[in-house]
A and B are shown apart, each in its own frame.
Chain A
Amino acid sequence: MKLTIISKKTNLWLATAMMLLMATALYGQSATAVKYFTRNASASFFSEAPLEKIEASTTSASSVIDMATGNVEVAVLIKSFNFKKALMQEHFNENYLESTKFPKAVFKGRMPEFKSINLTTDGKHTAVLKGDITIHGITKPLETKVLIRSEGGKIFAETEFELIVADFNISIPSVVRDNIAKMVKVKLKAEFMELKKT
């Protein structure tokens, strides 16, 4: 009889301990279900054709990564791209990208492996990012590899991919067509901060 009481008591203890453990586990999970973001990511693109090299960059791209789902969003303002040549910038905005009509380029996708990456210790990781990119009002699928580096509590991400100009309904007049490359190399670089809910 006594024995059974004890065992019942231990059972109760065990149950409470289990519940506590589960609670901490759950709490722990919700604590890691954070979002990382940046508003100062750099985006640049580069293309080389026989006559002219085209290069432009911006440092005000924004991006959010949701740790829990692995969802990634990147957005950039077309008008914020700086070119060395003012004329190129003008043509890029007015004739090719029509940035008044389509002010943003947006990427929405997922990085499924992101969840399993341990970002609390310093290290380098690669993850596949898959999603859709919208430029000039046209949405196309995009898949790229992202280099993720965690260092001293900071998270850095870097990726590079190529886009075909014609995919995005960007018409280039035949006079200059040969001077403008058909492929554009895009580079993204970001340092993420933990998003704190206020």
Chain B
Amino acid sequence: MPVHWKIKSQEMKSKLFLAAALILLLGGFIGYKMWNKPHMDISAAESFISLSAVDLVQAFKEDETSANTRFLNKVITVSGKIAAVNKEHNQTILHLETEDPMALVICNLDPFSTHEKTDFVSGETVQVKGVCSGMLTDVVIDRCVIIK
């Protein structure tokens, strides 16, 4: 085997090694990024529908299954009057009034966002954006941010 051949194959080897290392690094980086994928930025997310707390509860009461297909896991904007403010478990929870005192709209303020406003009073009218989680006795909206 001529000498220069050997050199060439050695060069090839180191190039191959470098390429493999790069691919591995890139793969690792992408994997790491995917693994640490951030939560959806709710303030930047587009709202799918805007409606009142009264209408939202009404829709769930009329037909829960169809309301689930319409709203579940979707970003929605809900407006209503605050019936109660609850600050439990380090979280701010707003209860929005509807026609039925037993079926409210519960808005859990997003734990992953910083909120300009965290103090609310009953009777205040608010508009919030969040992800609809469904209905138990009340319709629950999670990851809420205040629009106004």
Q: Give the interface of A toward B (CB within 8 A).
A: 39-40, 42, 57-62, 75-77, 79-80, 82, 85-87, 89, 93, 99-100, 103-104, 189, 191, 198
Cβ of A42 and Cβ of B88 under 8 Å apart?
Answer: yes
Query: Is B5 in contact with chain A by the CB < 8 A criterion?
Result: no
Query: Is B140 in contact with chain A by the CB < 8 A criterion?
Result: yes
Would you list which residues of chain B between 12 and 43 have a CB under 8 Å from chain A?
34-40
The 4 closest A-B pairs by CB, nearest first: A79-B133, A80-B133, A103-B134, A77-B133
Cβ of B72 and Cβ of A59 under 8 Å apart?
Answer: no
Chain A binding surface, main DSSP class: strand
Instruction: Tell me the number of A-to-B contacts counted with CB atoms below 8 Å.
Output: 79
Interface centre among A40, A89, A191 (most CB of B within 10 A): A40
Q: Give the interface of B toward A (CB within 8 A).
A: 34-40, 68, 72-73, 86, 88-89, 91, 93, 95, 101, 104, 106, 108, 111, 131, 133-134, 136-138, 140, 142-143
- Bound Cα distance from A187 to B147, whole angstroms: 33
| Complex contacts, A191 vs chain B, CB 8 Å | 88
Interface centre among B73, B86, B108, B134 (most CB of A within 10 A): B134
Q: Contacts A39-B138, A79-B133: A60 and B36 contacting too (C-beta < 8 A)?
A: no
- Bound Cα distance from A191 to B86, whole angstroms: 12
| Complex contacts, A42 vs chain B, CB 8 Å | 88-89
- Bound Cα distance from A62 to B72, whole angstroms: 18
| Complex contacts, B140 vs chain A, CB 8 Å | 60, 77, 80
| Complex contacts, B136 vs chain A, CB 8 Å | 39, 60-62, 75-77, 104
Q: What would 12 A/B residue contacts be, using CB atoms closer than 8 Å?
A: A39-B104, A59-B93, A59-B108, A60-B106, A60-B108, A60-B133, A60-B140, A61-B136, A77-B136, A80-B134, A86-B37, A103-B72
